[in-house]
Each structure stands twice: as C-alpha cells, then as structure tokens.
Structure 1
Amino acid sequence: MTSVTFPNGNSYSDDGTTANDMRNGGFRTSLLPMISDTIVVSNSAVAAAASAVPAATTASAAATTATTQAAIATAAANTAVGTSLIKQPSEIAGIDPALDFAFLSSLALPAGVVQGTSAKWVTDRAGLLTSVASLTPPIDFDPVTSVTRGLLVEASVTNLLRRSQEFDVSPWTTFGTVTITANNTTAPDGTLTADKLAVASGAGIYNNATVTSGTYTCSIWLKADSATTATLGSNDGNNAFVSTTCSVTTSWQRFTLTRTTTASTMGMQINGATTVYAWGAQIEAGSFATSYIPTLGSTVTRAADTNTMALSSVPGWNSSECTIYVEARTALASGTQTYAQYDDGTANNRLCVYRDSSNVLRCIVVVSGSTVVNLSLGTVANDTFFKVAFSWKANAFSASVNGGAAVTSSSGAIPSGLTTHRIGHDSSGNHANSPIRRDVGLPRAVTSATTTLLTA
C-alpha cells in the first residue's frame, strides 16, 4: 500500500516511510490503531450521509415544485402563442381596437362585467376541476394540453340528482352484490372524494330524480385501476331503459347518456360486472352535459351566466360602424347559441352573432323588431372551434368564418340607441353553452376582403 494518511494526521506504511510501519512485525502495534482510525472515518461518512438526506429530500421536493411550475409555464406559453405569435385582428385591420378581450385568465375582464350569481366548475391550467367563485370570469382550459379554451358561458341548469359524490348514501340504491368504498381515491378536483364501486354481474347501483316529460342528459366521471367497461344506464317511471357502454381507462373521463322520457321519474345507474371509481353524477334537462353542479341532500341550480358591458364605458366606441371578431367553440349539441351581441337593452335593436338550431352560423341586424340583415355563414359542427368576423355600417355589411369567402349585404340600417355589449349570450336567454376565447371590437367597418383575412 506504500503509505496512507488519515484525517486525524496518523500515517501508516509498508515501506518504512512512517513511524507506523507494518513491516517486520510492525503490524502488531500499528494494525489496531489503523483499524480504529478507519472506523472513525467510516462513522464520520455515515453521519455526513445521514445529514444529507433531509437536504436531498428538500431538493427533491423543490425539483418537483419546479417541474410543476415549469409545466404550468409551458401551458401558459402554449396559450400565449395564439395571442403573441399570430398576427392580431387590430394589426390585420390596421385599426386600434375599442375593446379586445383575450380570455386567458380571471383578469381578462374588467370588474363588473361578469354578473353571474353562481359559482362554476371549470378545468384549471393544471388539468383539475376547480370551482370559480361567482362574479369571477370562469376560464376553462383543455384538460390534456392545458391550452385555454376561454370564458365558459352557460345557461341556467339544475342538477336533479341528489348526493352527486356520495354513492354510499341514500338515495343511491344497490341491487345484487355491490361493494362501495367511500372516498377511496383522488377525484377529478384533486380531493379524496371519489368512491370505489365493485359491481358484480347482474348487479348495479342507481339514483332516481324527479323530472317532467322531455330530454335529459346523465353524466358521471369514471376511471379504473386497469382498462375495463361499465354500463351507464337510465330507467324511468315507464320502465323504459336505455344504456351505453363506457370504455373506462386509468384516467378520469366524463361519460354521458342522453335520453327522452314522458315519465315523472328517471334515474342513472351503473351496472356490472365491473369495478370502477365514480364521482360527480349529474342529471340535467337538455341534450348535452354542462359544467358540474355538486349536490348534497337537495337538487342545486346554477344561475345563468351574465356578462355585460356598458358601451358608454368603452373609449372610442363608434355607434355608427364597427367590426367585431370572435373566437369560440360551438356547444356539444344543437340549439340557438349566441356568441356576441350589441343591443339597446332589448331584442328589438341589436347586432348579433349566433348559431341557430340547424347549426348555421348567422350574423344579423335587427331594427325596431325587424331583421334587416341576415348573413348566413353555413353550418359549424358541434364542439368545433371557429373564428368569425362581422363588419357593419349602414348599407355595407360583411361577415366571414374561418377564412371563408365573405357573405355581404348592401342594404340595411343600423339600430340606434345601442347601450350594451353581451359576451356569450343575448338578451333573450340564449347562451353559447361553450367557451368564448376572444372578443374584439374595432371601431370602424372593414372591407369584405378584410373580414376574410381576419378569420383566416
């Protein structure tokens, strides 16, 4: 080994270079001290390693936090692409906007514009369902990409199903062999409130609601430990049963079932054989599921969203001509769905962009209760993102969707006395029932060619 020196200064050798030499029987006096020094060094190393563990744990936690923050920043960057790298409507038109709302966060609108009196559940940037307080812009994000979907605007809806998250509590009822483990895993909102349902073959669990004749949609979040199937069913007071097969994965998905009934009661049920986690059950009137409405012992109604702005508060607003630009997504099913409206507080004098019950996107002008301009832009499918521009001044109207050829009209007056801008709804109770991503108002009309460029 030649020689070695320990941290305490003691040196050992086998070549005669130190006092503690191992040759010629020297090991008899030097070996044990060297072993002792070795043990001291080893214990010191163990202590140092132990003290490093908390620091390493802290560093690991910090790294995890940093990773999460980086993911959120990346999502924000992905969202920002739509408003920073792409040429802006005002740049295309060469006109400074009177208003320009890019719905990227809860700060997207001035105070007082959002007037809805109910909290609303949306997907946040981290992919979790979250409840947004009333009077706060409910900004919805894509649960997979985290890119902003926009300001979610919905009509009033009631969750008719009681105990939406408590499958182990009445009025949930089982038949056959069903084992329910309450609060067994993390729910879509990040809380430990999702129940495990182990449903044997021929068995099931159901919950009934009071209804009237009409169309209703059942919805529920399901996931499993491994890929499986489950039957989402609905029976009514006439014993008319309908169902759909759900392909359940290890990730949370919201499954829906839409049906009509003439009975006074209607239920939702999960049939076996299957083992799944369940959360957020809902039965609501209508042909598609809207945002989640939690319930306990009673039904709960979510108030209609109201987003209005007084035009008198918009600097540079021009009442005689304007170009509006909207980015939005159509609803999950057909119906009259309004994306933007400017009016006098009534439906008698207004300019409006909406999709009719036949899925045709329209830009209309109503003066004294009569429709004087009706520009039909063709059909836009359900659950589809689109861009639309609508330019108006007296006897010069044009509109375009998704870069299509402009539809024009050279005849028609402009309604007088416009006072209000409504985002995602009109004055007659028609809502987009979907997210609005961008809402822009340019205080001058543009050419038909420019309306096409705006939406390309």
Structure 2
Amino acid sequence: MLFNRNFADLITFARASAGWSYSAGGVLVQSGANTPRLDYDPLTLAARGLLLEELRTNLLWPSMYGLVTAPTYYTITNAASLVAGQQAKRFVMVGAGGPNTPAANGAQFTATGPMCTWSIIEIDPASVAGAITRLLFYKTSGTPGIWGGVNLDLTTGVASVASGTGTVTYGAVKLSNLGPNGGAVYLLWTATTNAGGETLNAYPYPITDGSASGAGKSVIVHHHQLEAGAYPSSAIVTTSAQATRAADNATITDLSKIGFSQGEGTVYAEFMVPRIASGVAGDSFGGVITICDSALNNYFAVWPNVTGNVKFSRKAGGAVVDITTANSVVVGAVAKVAVAYGAAQNDAICLNGGTVASAAAIAPSGMTEMRLGRLASNPGWLNGWLRNVRFIPRRMSNVELQSLTA
C-alpha cells in the first residue's frame, strides 16, 4: 500500500524544465527542474494534488506584456503581480484612437492543429466603468480578417464570443476574488484549430474601446500565453524568448515497494481533471495510472475518456480490452476510482461509489512499473491532479469497492 513513505522513496520523478503552479497562498510560484508541483486552487486555496501535465511551449514573450515604449493609445505602468518575481502591467486607455493591439513577440503561428491563447487579468478598481478586454485570433493569409476570440466584461465578469469568420471555443475562470491590486482575477482563454497553410495571429486587446469614449478604461494583465493545444495548461513564464515546460514523469520503478502482486489485487486512486476534452492532436484521453511492462505489451491502465466515463484497460500481449463505468467524473471535483482483479474472479472497476462494472479476467504478465498520471499509450497525460494512489494486495469484493470509492 502507498502510505507512510516519503515521495522520493517510492517515486522516480523527472521533468526536464522548471514548472509553475499555485502556492497555498494563491500565488504562481516556480518549481525547479525535476521537482514535483503540489498545486492549490487559487480561489479556495484548497490543495488540488500533484500536477501532472504534457509538454507545452509558450510562444509569446515576454509573458507579462513587458513593452518598452507605451503605445500612443495606452498608458502602461507596472503593478503588483500574482506571479512570483514578476511585475504585472496596468493598461489605461488614452482614448486617442488607433488600433489597440500591443505587439507580442511570437504571436504569429502557422502550425496545423489546435491552438490556445489565454491571459490572467485583474479588474482594475481604478478603471472607468464599462471596460471590456479581449483576446482575438486574426487571420493574415488568404482572406485577412478577424477569425474569432473572446470578450470579458470587466464589470460583470461574463465572457462572450468575439465573432469572426472562424470557429473558436472560449471561457473565463475566476482565480481570485481579491487580487494583489484589489480587483477580481480571471483566466480568460480562447482556442481554435488552424488549418494547414493558414497564418493566424494572437492579438490581445487590453481594452476594446480605442475611441475617445474609452479614455480612462483600464485593466491589469499578469500573464499571457499562446500554446499548441485545445485548452490552457499551467503558466509558462517567458522573458526574452519562448519557453517550454517539459512533461512530468512520475513512476514507481520497483513494484515490490508497494507489495504489488500480478495475481490478485485492488488499485485505488483519487484524481481531479479541469476539463473533459482532448489536449494536443491525437490525445483523446488522460491516464490516471498504468501498471505495465517496459514494452507496453502487458498492462493495467485506468483513465477517463472524453465523455468522462472511466475505463479499466487490460492488455495481455494481444488486444486491449476495456471495462467502462456507467457514471462519469465531475470536472473540478475529486474522483475516486478503484479497480480489482484476481485469479478465477472477474475484473472490476468502480467510480465514486457507483455501480460496479465487471468482465472476465485478463491476466497481464511481466509488469514492472507503475506510471502515475500517464496512460500506457502516448501522449496520454492526465493534465490534472493526482491526489492519492494505493495498492491493496487482495481482490476486494464489489461491495467493498463501492464503499472504498463512495
């Protein structure tokens, strides 16, 4: 069982870069390379768990909008930041007219596939009423024009689509009721899928009203990011060039340390996901745990699919055979799942105390490691939080599985 042991005694952890996560005080802090990130909810300050993500690159730099010279249509000053060691930027509209799109290095992209741009913004208590901020995709090849994006009303905190010729997804998530400058803080995002041969630009509009009526409207920007993917990942802070956060790899390489048995057992896990959706191209699932051999010819794997149902995948040298729960995970809530197996007994899975799903046993052999937050196939990262993993060296009954996960 996984308890009363130090993290490093059980788990080999690797990430070939620094990474950022929220501290218990709701501040974005950096963890060094090969250092696990224990993440907190910045709004409630509740612990979320071990953050495990795929590789991502922030194409924009600097990520705090560090413009040297203020455009004629904005007054730009420094402000307190919720990103440790950084300064936010306060954009106050002058109202002189002109395009209100400050340049961001790396904003242009031609890569085919899903792309997401997002900002952490704070409502400025000193702003004139009626301010709206915007993130926009703008097409510069073919027929140039607005592709689409998202608006955020800084009075109501309500996000809406910024219409264009393309299709976008979007959203706004409140991160804090009281930011470092006295206003509510939001993560504002929009994503689209770029077709082959097209060129799009990610344009931030700190304030949408560039006319005289916009004078005095303002917003505070803490971070800005553009990355390949269908949704925001964690923050990747940049300064003078784009930066990459490497993938998190957490593995138990010696299964004897948890008393693992291939013949019979129960594996229990608690996890959270911020969304039920695909990540990068080809990634349609996120693994919770995988117990496998090095060649992935034999494994047990637990993962939520794109509809939120959780699967117990079993492979014993041949085809993969799944057992799927009838109930689904709830985004942002703790999911409790247990899978059980044993000689001459059915394999089974139970999620959150629901109906147990079972099927004839399949017996993989030669399993030597447990991958945490990763599915057997690639990429398959959880892109969420792992809170607890335990191994019980017997096949628990179906009633016990329901009780364990309730």
TM range (shorter): 0.7 to 0.9
Match of 1:116 among 15, 26, 32: 15
Could you say what secondary structure the match of 1:449 adopts?
helix
Distance 1:234 1:441, change over 3 A: same
**AA partner of residue 197 (structure 1):** F
> Partner of 1:76 in structure 2?
none
Matched residue count: 349
Q: CA deviation at 1:236?
A: 2.7
**AA partner of residue 151 (structure 2):** T
Could you say what secondary structure the match of 2:402 adopts?
helix
Match of 2:372 among 423, 426, 430: 423
Distance 1:111 1:119, change over 3 A: farther
Check whether the contact 2:347–2:362 (CA below 8 A) recurs between aligned residues. Answer: no
CA distance in 2, matches of 1:111, 1:397: 26
Query: Is residue 237 of structure 1 aligned with residue 170 of structure 2?
Result: no
Match of 1:441 among 374, 391, 395: 391
Q: For 1:118-168, what per-residue CA distance to the aligned partner results, in whole angstroms no more than 9, with x for missing partners?
A: 211110111111011122220001112222100000001111112111331
Please list, as runs of the form range in 1=range in 2, the aligned pairs for 1:160-199 lying within 5 A after superposition. Answer: 160-169=59-68, 177-181=73-77, 184-191=78-85, 193-199=87-93
Check whether the contact 2:117–2:227 (CA below 8 A) recurs between aligned residues. Answer: yes
> Partner of 1:392 in structure 2?
341
CA distance in 1, matches of 2:226, 2:355: 42
CA distance in 1, matches of 2:404, 2:11: 29
Check whether the contact 1:311–1:317 (CA below 8 A) recurs between aligned residues. Answer: no
Q: For 1:378-415, what per-residue CA distance to the aligned partner results, in whole angstroms no more than 9, with x for missing partners?
A: 43344443111111123421111111011112x23210
Check whether the contact 1:220–1:282 (CA below 8 A) recurs between aligned residues. Answer: yes
Q: CA deviation at 1:204?
A: 1.5
Check whether the contact 1:101–1:439 (CA below 8 A) recurs between aligned residues. Answer: no
Could you say what secondary structure the match of 2:91 adopts?
strand
With 249-258 and 428-437 compared, the bigger mean Cα shift is at 249-258
CA distance in 2, matches of 1:437, 1:109: 16
Could you say what secondary structure the match of 2:15 adopts?
coil
CA distance in 2, matches of 1:450, 1:440: 15
Match of 1:350 among 299, 323, 328: 299
**TM-score, with normalisation over the residues of structure 1?**
0.71
> Partner of 2:184 in structure 1?
251
Match of 1:142 among 30, 37, 41: 41
Please list, as runs of the form range in 1=range in 2, the aligned pairs for 1:78-117 lying within 5 A after superposition. Answer: 97=1, 99-100=2-3, 108-110=7-9, 113-117=12-16
Q: CA deviation at 1:195?
A: 0.9
> Partner of 2:325 in structure 1?
376
CA distance in 2, matches of 1:101, 1:377: 33
> Partner of 1:204 in structure 2?
100
Q: For 1:275-307, what per-residue CA distance to the aligned partner results, in whole angstroms no more than 9, with x for missing partners?
A: 111121101111110011112232211111100
> Partner of 2:168 in structure 1?
none
**AA partner of residue 212 (structure 1):** A
CA distance in 1, matches of 2:100, 2:338: 51
CA distance in 1, matches of 2:4, 2:188: 32
Distance 1:315 1:400, change over 3 A: closer
Could you say what secondary structure the match of 1:439 adopts?
strand
CA distance in 1, matches of 2:269, 2:122: 36
Unaligned runs of 5+ in 2: 158-182, 210-216, 279-284
CA distance in 1, matches of 2:381, 2:133: 33
Query: Is residue 413 of structure 1 aligned with residue 362 of structure 2?
Result: yes
Query: Is residue 129 of structure 1 aligned with residue 28 of structure 2?
Result: yes
CA distance in 2, matches of 1:242, 1:303: 30
With 214-223 and 189-198 compared, the bigger mean Cα shift is at 189-198
**AA partner of residue 404 (structure 1):** G
Distance 1:147 1:414, change over 3 A: same
Q: CA deviation at 1:326?
A: 1.1
**AA partner of residue 328 (structure 1):** F
Report which of the two structures shows the higher radius of gyration computed on alpha carbons.
1
Unaligned runs of 5+ in 1: 1-96
Check whether the contact 2:325–2:355 (CA below 8 A) recurs between aligned residues. Answer: no
